[in-house]
Chain A
Amino acid sequence: MNRYRFAKNIAIGAAVVLSLTLARAADDLPKADTILDKFIEVTGGKAAYEKHHTEVAKGSFSMAAMGIKGDVVTYRAEPNKSLLEIDFGSIGKMRDGSDGTVYWTSFAMTGPHVKEGPEKAQAAISARFNQELNWREMFKEVKTVGTDKVDGKDCYQVQLTPNEGPPMTQCYDKDSNLLVKMSMTAQGPTGEQQSDSFFTDYRKEGDILMPHKIKQSAPGQEVVITFDSVAFNTEIPADKFALPDEIKALVKK
């Protein structure tokens, strides 16, 4: 399960602007690469991640304020294939995926869409399998910029600047070094959408410690995703990552 992945692709609307609290001078803070590498260690270690080549996660989605619930399934495979499916019931099924080259979204409500520019760059980061291990390739700069509090506990804020697009900020618990919060600005045709995502309910799936609940705050609404099961190295049918016909038609245009 990829921590970046859900927060970006499930974003609907924009989130509350994060107020950064620079509690200490940057020089006093642990280095960002240390925090990011330590995250790999505390969640299972590099070897544990490298054993995985595919991942299927299943769970549920809810927007309590609107009374909307649905089922969520994500499929992921090395190196950068992905498919997210959310079934919103009468509102329809949203699919968001990558065949490794084309990054796309298909939702009957808004129509099919092939991502380009900054939106594509963000999608490429999201689709990267085991991105925790590969942050050095995806971000041109990482730095610890301060501290924050999440649920009353201190966390280190790490700002990650991708090769293209605006930086994102991740907050790692001071004690456990687990990722507890991510703030980012999603880029796309509907404009810039800011969001805060909170990661909780860390539990082991195989050898990896993973968050099973992700809460995303956006103006006027809150999205909660809960994962019930995660399976690694299961065989995913090859056509699962194939482009839908309507996306193929758009690519051909």
Chain B
Amino acid sequence: MRLSLGVVLTVALSGLSFAQPTLTPAQRQLNVDSFELVWKTVRDKHWDPKMNGVDWQAVHDELLPKVEKAASTDEARELMSDMLGRLKQTHFGIVPAEAYKELDQKDDEGKSSPSEGDPGLDVRLVDGHTLVTFVTPDSPAAAKGVKAGWEILRVDGKELAPGMAKVHAAFGSALMAELIETRSVEERMRGPIDKTVDVEFLDGKDRKVKLKLGRTGPRGTETVVGSLPPLHFWLDAHKIQPDIGYVTFNMFFEPEAVASSVQKIMSQCGDCKGFIIDLRGNPGGLGGMAMGLAGWFTSQSGLRLGTMYLRSTSLKFAVFPRAEPFRGPLAILVDGCSASTSEIFAGGMQDLKRARVFGTHTAGAALPSMFTKLPNGDGFQYAVANYVSEGGKPLEGVGVTPDQEVKLTRHQLLEGQDPALDAAVSWIHGQKD
């Protein structure tokens, strides 16, 4: 979830501005120290010793004097961001201290606040409109009758469109825009469980509906992975039709739960005509899980999904076939919120011609990245590896292009349709036995 954390941080920061008094010498030095730490970290840990063709020393020598003279931390931060921007790669960024604190929400014991929740809505941006794509059953939103296809107009009285326009202006050209914008909306609806959030919708009949929605804890069960804050994991595996198996999960964590669920549905799916892996909205997680998941769907040894390149080595994402893999048609569903491990899996299986990918273009955010706190209190995100899919293309900034593009429409959502899923089912049924 480092990716989603990073996205959340970035979004939460957009639009924030803090007037600062003149820096003290000590504060100025902290900015210089931060600049040096950022520069050295990239120099030492970037996977490409040639820094993507950028003369890194020259950048340092050009910008350091400006940082030393910077009149504010904002100005110093802009210079550091400028330095990172010259790499022209994602997953490199500076997050202002105020926002880093907000996004790094941990109590003294390092755990996220247990009282945070949301109304139970999944959203996507469709043609500039923020649409509800899924309402969690039994959630506060479901209790108030919110339906898929409704448009969200305002959250707590604040109109969404202008904010989304700002975010879109900042990130619109990047593939990650959809992911960033979606997370931004979801974050606005998140908050204390004991408080409500006012949401104004445009319902299925184009009527404005104002609802006071309660919040509930995140869907799924809490899981803790290393030093990441507690996450909530859920998984759904079942037959969506008598002859089609279906698995979806919200992130690539809890590998034993994923493996046992896939194994269970496989055992029920001996006569299945096809199988669907739904990775829409899945931001990734443990990269190695892409290898494990792929092994359920091929009997061929020696396959690879792609290769991750670090500074001094590379790691091939090998596929270890299971004893009795599913050999029939495999469809993978993705969208602009599918990132990282989701892209590694979908892109690799597509390259191996083992799966057909349906949906919309993925986020193009495949690089593993780390966060660290800078001496001046800002957060610093940096990528430590590059990833190239088996077909030879880097996923970062490129993403996975579906074999069959299927866009959402408000009309289809209101009709209860899931066009990407429907297309996958139709394709499976069209395959020869």
Contacts and interface: CB of A to CB of B under 8 A. Distances in A.
Contact of B314 (A89, A108, A191, A220): A191
Interface string B282-305: 000010110110011000001010
A249 B226 contact: no
Given A110-B288, A111-B322, A191-B315, A220 B310 contact: yes
A190 B316 contact: yes
A213 B312 CA distance: 25
Nearest to B323: A249
Secondary structure class of chain A's binding surface, majority of residues: loop
Nearest to B322: A111
A110 B256 contact: no
A163 to B, nearest CB: 24
B317 A190 contact: yes
A25 interface: no
Given A14-B315, A90-B223, A113 B320 contact: yes
Interface string A9-38: 000011011000000000000000000000
Contacts of B313: 13-14, 191-194, 219
Nearest to A247: B323
A91 B320 contact: no
Interface size class on chain B is: 35 or more
Contacts, number: 100
Interface string B47-76: 000000000000000000000000000000
Contacts of B254: 90
B291 A252 contact: no
A14 B316 CA distance: 12
Contacts of B223: 90
Interface string B313-330: 111111111111000000
A194 B82 CA distance: 35
Interface size class on chain A is: 20 to 34
Given A67-B226, A68-B226, A108-B258, A220 B318 contact: no
B122 to A, nearest CB: 24
Chain B CB within 10 A, most for which of A16, A63, A92, A109: A109
Nearest to A194: B313
B255 interface: yes
B227 A252 contact: no
A111 B263 CA distance: 11
Given A67-B227, A90-B224, A112 B312 contact: no
A190 to B, nearest CB: 5
Contact of B384 (A14, A90, A220): A220
A246 interface: yes
Contacts of B168: none
Given A66-B226, A111-B321, 4 more contacts: A90-B223, A108-B260, A110-B295, A253-B323
Interface of B: 45, 223-228, 253-256, 258-260, 286, 288-289, 291-292, 295-296, 302, 304, 307, 310-324, 384-385
